[in-house]
Structure 1
Amino acid sequence: MHIEKNVCDNILGTILNLSGKSKDHVKARLDLQEIGIRKSLHPLSSADGKNLEIRAAVFDLTKKEKEIFLTVLKNTKLPYGCASNISRYVNVAERKIQGYKSHDAHFILHYLLQFAVKKASKPEVALPMIRFSSFLRGLWSKVIRLDDLKRLQEEIIEIVCHFEMIFTPAFFDIMVHLLVHLCQEVELGGPEHLRNMFSIERYLGKLKTYVRNRSKPEGSIAEGYLAEECITFCSRFLYDEGAVNNSLYSAPTQVDGHIGTRRNRDGKTIRLKEADLKACHRYILFNCGNKEIEKLIEDHQALVDNLENSRRYKRARTHTEEFCNWLKGEVGKMENASKELKVLALGPNRMAKRFTGYIVNGFRFHTKFRDSRCTTQNSGVFLSAETTSFASSKDENPIIGHVNYYGSIEEIVEVDFWGELSVSCLNVAGTKKKKTHMGLLE
């Protein structure tokens, strides 16, 4: 984490020419002159011969480019709980960024720097920066193989060589040199995310909040820690309206569900249109994971393939559109059908509830409207789904594979299956993504 913070300071200070942080100054140019390399960057004497002047390097940005660079960081909205509000540290008017912490530097290098340099810097500067961000993300992977470490080791050596072609020798302090040894450190010590100090620093910050008497900080921390432990211990027994439970692990945890607002805590009741009702029902049936439903899906697919003598595309479409009605009839004939199977076949209630936020499996989702009023963003979604792709309606050999979908949440609807179960559905507006020549999606 300290290597990332120092390298981030070097990069941002040099690119933005921040006072006291930049590694490009007269002494750095004199070093080039003394070594005898990169003559285009050697300092020049002023007209009166009393001062030295330096010419702009390839990494230098104009005032307009600096504003573009910082605007990318300023306007960035990150997911809730992912990082701090980095826009607080950016001053576009003065064209500077300062006061960010180690985790902010970590997040800037991994994710934000590549987009900022793509918008503002020249390609010969942007490409090594993008590769550097990709290297750090690969190094911090939760699962990393030894073959990947060899590839990453070769990658960082090339990246540092590209940096040497861009920046002055003063840029390369010991922290930049240590980047070359990070892969060996992972090979000897294990994944990087298990050995960082972020969680420890965060916990130390929590302990500091216990200090009430600054003349006795240790005693304040001890008393605060004991008080929290006692409260936590008691809450494991007395959380359910005074009911006593002997289980040590019965403390209430965060419950998934909707996120209300001050005006409307329980959502807004709406009446689903016929098309939306069918779309919700169809999606839930094909993705519910119920073994009985999956068996019936296979039966209906076989029935459609046997009865219809048509193109494969039409058979697949018929299977998708007619399965819901066929399932309702088949379940009606069953005598020992489970209650869950009956309500799933019957379909959801037309009356549903609409929300602007929802928490599912610990993940927070917002609509675009809710995000427009927040400093965070949780409306962007990504899905990799196994899909049957047809080139055209006449294609008899479709390709089955994983297709990536991107989009923004327009609406969150909770549909009710007649009091037996409820399912939250996200209405997502899809967007097309394409890769640029630099490997980024836009």
Structure 2
Amino acid sequence: MRYLPLKPRLQRLYMSMHTATNMRWHKEGLVNDDVMRHPTDGEAWKEFDRMYPDFAADPRNVRLGLATDGFNPFGVLNQNHSTWPVVLFPYNLLPWKCMKKEYMMLTLLMSEDLGKLIDVYLRPLVDELKDLWENGVRTYDKYTGQMFTMRAAVMWTVNDFPAYAMVSGWMTKGYLACPICKENVTSSWHARKVCYLGHRRWLPWDNEWRQNDKAFHGTKETRLRPREWSGDEILDQLNRLEFGHFSKGVSKPRPTTHLNWTHKSMLFELPYWSKLKVRHNLDVMHIEKNVFDTLVGTILDIERKTKDTIETRLDLERMGIRSSLWMQNVGGTLKKGHPFFTVKPNGKKEFFNFISSVKFPDGYIGELKKCVRNRAKPEGSLVEAWVAYESLTFCAMYLEDVETAFNRPQRNNDGGVRKEKLSVFAQIARPFGDPVKGESFTKNDMEVAHWFILNNCEEALPYLEEHEQLMKREHHSYLYAKKHRDLFPSWFHAHMNKLKELNSPSYDEELYNLARGPLHIELFSGCHVNGIKFLGATRDDKLTTQNSGVHVPELDHDDNDDVADQQLSSSIEIGEETLRDTNIVQEPFDIPGVPEFEISIDLGDLPQYNAPKEANEDEDEWESGNDSSEDSDSYYCSSEED
């Protein structure tokens, strides 16, 4: 076992201005609007504050979460070796920082499958946590420049279900596996395994599912929900039980009075542990995976993965429910009929094609596994690497002229603040790579893009409304919308020219440049927006991952669909308030042979469009001329999101 003391690492959080300020956020920077953004918005946190007002009075006291899980540091080379880290993380920090690697604290590293023996290894950590709660430790606060007594408390643990049993002391197997229901759990033997029923007990009395016997296991649910045990009641129950000494010997049968308790958790030695509203949390990642595997395995009828087995069908018949799923006697042989919830072969093929097309974000490799350098002593390697990482991270807080994790630009930095003042350009986007050569837009495509920008510019709204009223007076109701769309750009340009000539107070240089229309286009293979990388289709198709969430290829559209709105609204989307009335755009914004790219359109110099007399309109090209105009340059970007 390796133990890394906790106190000096908590003190470091207040020795640097980078973190000393952020450690107060949970109280001084919190927004109370009934939205769950951080654990401090939860009822468990609020109840803890009401119960221990002295601790809650000082926002510098540290709230911690504790997590542990086992992993194999060798990958698949040795299936018998198991390493168990215990990690603490401070919840005082902002929601997007409290779970960052820089602030996680590895305190324990154990090298065996622990079971209830985990309490033996938790002894030094629990002793230190008790001292931090009762006595605290004198700490220098860089923010105030004064010393104070820092205290700390563990708010809860975060584990998967097997680790839940080790940390809580309640075995999560067998007929009494549920740590909430305890002896009131509804469980029985079905299809060679223990199954847990009676979930409808938690529903409100007037819920229709309580009376629906056919959709469940043939009975109506009239029972109350199981009682909720308080921490003090659990502690009192544990104090009356005798568990004996910890050992690795053959486990003895538990007395019936012990229910599923295997040991009294060491964490109950913390004075506040029995008072917590929530002591243990389940890691939803494992639950999601298990549910997904079960659903997919059953729907696709995957051998050894499906829950629709012969034993399950026989069990349904024994229970007398869902006769359509009973085994069928065909010529003296029992056979499974095709259930309604199983996908047919053609459907399986479509499903597999869909799954193969899904692209997930770049994978995350276990940080601890990468630290193993000495395979003979993996735990020593892990601790050595982690201590070095923590030291470098702490020192980096004091380096100003050197690029560190605290001052380094984000990986997908979008380039800072734009110089344009118009709201439609508020979305920052930074293209990367060299402009794609040999690609261009037609005149029609440029006009569609220009109209979209004009129609979604807040500052141009008064002119849009003025011109719309003008078109209503001059044209029929069925025609004015099209005339408004076709004539507004030229009318707006002429109007802004007039305001400039008259030196009108309402003249705006930004709107004047916008009215002149798009001049120059550069196509890029991708761009950075809000710290996220977006790739064009051509580049993205070459990768097995996708850089902004889960990506699924777009479904085929009918050729007559008006797709301009969909493409442009996804390209320049800033928010619901900015995008309005995009349905006016009717022309499809598709460019044959041109993939999805970042579009950077320069509104600087005036263009000179020289269209050949016999050329087709779709083949027109825009060329920049040498205009001597002294007008200021500006540009706008639209990033085509995948």
TM-score (norm 1): 0.51
Q: 1:311 Cα deviation (Å)?
A: 0.9
- Is 1:294 the counterpart of 2:461 in the alignment? yes
**Secondary structure class of the residue paired with 2:543:** coil
Q: Structure 1: 5+ residue runs without aligned partners?
A: 85-201, 241-247, 391-402, 430-442
1:174 corresponds in structure 2 to: none
1:328 corresponds in structure 2 to: 493
2:315 corresponds in structure 1 to: 31
**Secondary structure class of the residue paired with 1:59:** coil
CA contact (8 A) 1:413 1:424 kept: yes
Instruction: Write the letter of the residue equivalent to 1:299.
Output: E
Q: Distance in 2 between matches of 1:323 and 1:344?
A: 13
Q: Distance in 1 between matches of 2:543 and 2:325?
A: 45
Q: Distance in 1 between matches of 2:350 and 2:342?
A: 13
- Is 1:57 the counterpart of 2:339 in the alignment? yes
Question: Based on CA coordinates, which of the two structures has the bigger radius of gyration?
Answer: 2
1:71 corresponds in structure 2 to: 353
**Secondary structure class of the residue paired with 2:581:** strand
Q: Distance in 2 between matches of 1:386 and 1:12?
A: 40
Q: Distance in 2 between matches of 1:407 and 1:274?
A: 13
CA contact (8 A) 1:17 1:24 kept: yes
Q: 1:221 Cα deviation (Å)?
A: 1.5
Q: Distance in 2 between matches of 1:287 and 1:305?
A: 20
- Is 1:206 the counterpart of 2:361 in the alignment? no
Taking only aligned residues, the RMSD between alpha carbons, in angstroms, comes to 4.2
2:600 corresponds in structure 1 to: 414
The 5 Å alignment of 1:363-402 reads 363-375=532-544, 376=546, 377=551, 383=569, 386-387=580-581
CA contact (8 A) 1:269 1:353 kept: no
Q: Distance in 2 between matches of 1:221 and 1:304?
A: 70
**Secondary structure class of the residue paired with 1:32:** helix
Q: 1:287 Cα deviation (Å)?
A: 1.9
The 5 Å alignment of 1:14-413 reads 14-43=298-327, 53-61=335-343, 63-77=345-359, 81=361, 205-213=366-374, 214-216=378-380, 217-231=382-396, 234=399, 237-239=401-403, 251-253=408-410, 254-255=413-414, 256-260=429-433, 265-268=434-437, 272-289=441-458, 291=459, 293-306=460-473, 308=474, 310-333=475-498, 334=500, 335=503, 337-349=507-519, 351-375=520-544, 376=546, 377=551, 383=569, 386-387=580-581, 410-413=596-599
Q: 1:35 Cα deviation (Å)?
A: 2.3
Q: 1:378 Cα deviation (Å)?
A: 8.0
Q: 1:415 Cα deviation (Å)?
A: 0.7
Instruction: Write the letter of the residue equivalent to 2:341.
Output: F
Residue by residue over 1:17-63, the C-alpha shift from the partner in whole angstroms, topping out at 9 and shown as x without a partner, is 3343322223223323322344454446797x8x8654443334555
Q: Distance in 2 between matches of 1:329 and 1:412?
A: 30
CA contact (8 A) 2:357 2:553 kept: no
Q: 1:364 Cα deviation (Å)?
A: 4.4
Q: 1:272 Cα deviation (Å)?
A: 4.3
CA contact (8 A) 2:527 2:639 kept: no
Instruction: Write the letter of the residue equivalent to 1:6.
Output: N
Q: 1:353 Cα deviation (Å)?
A: 0.8
Instruction: Write the letter of the residue equivalent to 2:636.
Output: V
Residues 231, 44 of structure 1: alpha-carbon distance in 2 compared, 3 angstrom cutoff: same
**Secondary structure class of the residue paired with 1:268:** coil
Q: Distance in 2 between matches of 1:10 and 1:249?
A: 42
Q: Distance in 2 between matches of 1:66 and 1:321?
A: 49
Residues 312, 412 of structure 1: alpha-carbon distance in 2 compared, 3 angstrom cutoff: farther
Residues 250, 269 of structure 1: alpha-carbon distance in 2 compared, 3 angstrom cutoff: farther
Q: 1:67 Cα deviation (Å)?
A: 3.6
Q: Distance in 1 between matches of 2:330 and 2:449?
A: 73
**Secondary structure class of the residue paired with 1:297:** helix
1:112 corresponds in structure 2 to: none
Residues 297, 250 of structure 1: alpha-carbon distance in 2 compared, 3 angstrom cutoff: farther
**Secondary structure class of the residue paired with 2:288:** helix
CA contact (8 A) 1:365 1:378 kept: no
Q: Distance in 1 between matches of 2:319 and 2:440?
A: 76
Residues 294, 60 of structure 1: alpha-carbon distance in 2 compared, 3 angstrom cutoff: closer
CA contact (8 A) 2:448 2:589 kept: no
Q: Distance in 2 between matches of 1:294 and 1:224?
A: 54
TM-score (norm 2): 0.36
Instruction: Write the letter of the residue equivalent to 1:257.
Output: R
